[in-house]
A = this chain, B = another copy of it.
Amino acid sequence: MQQTIKATEAELEILNILWTHGPATVRDVHDRLALKKDAGYTTTLKQMQIMLEKELLSRVASGKTHVYTAAVDQQQAQGQIVQRMIDSVFNGSAMQMVMQALGNHKASDAELEMIRVYLDKKTKK
Contact = CB atoms under 8 A, between A and B. Distances in A.
A9 to B, nearest CB: 5
B100 A79 contact: yes
A120 B78 CA distance: 27
A109 B100 CA distance: 19
A123 interface: yes
Contact of A100 (B82, B89, B114, B122): B82
Number of identical monomers bound together in the oligomeric complex: 2
Nearest to A92: B105
Contact of A91 (B20, B84, B91, B94): B20
A80 to B, nearest CB: 9
The A interface, classified by DSSP as helix, strand, loop or mixed, is: helix
Interface in A2-40: 9, 12-13, 16, 20
Given A112-B119, A112-B122, 10 more contacts: A79-B100, A79-B103, A82-B89, A82-B97, A82-B104, A86-B101, A94-B105, A99-B115, A102-B122, A115-B115
Cβ-closest 7 pairs across A and B? A94-B105, A79-B104, A95-B111, A94-B101, A12-B88, A98-B98, A12-B89
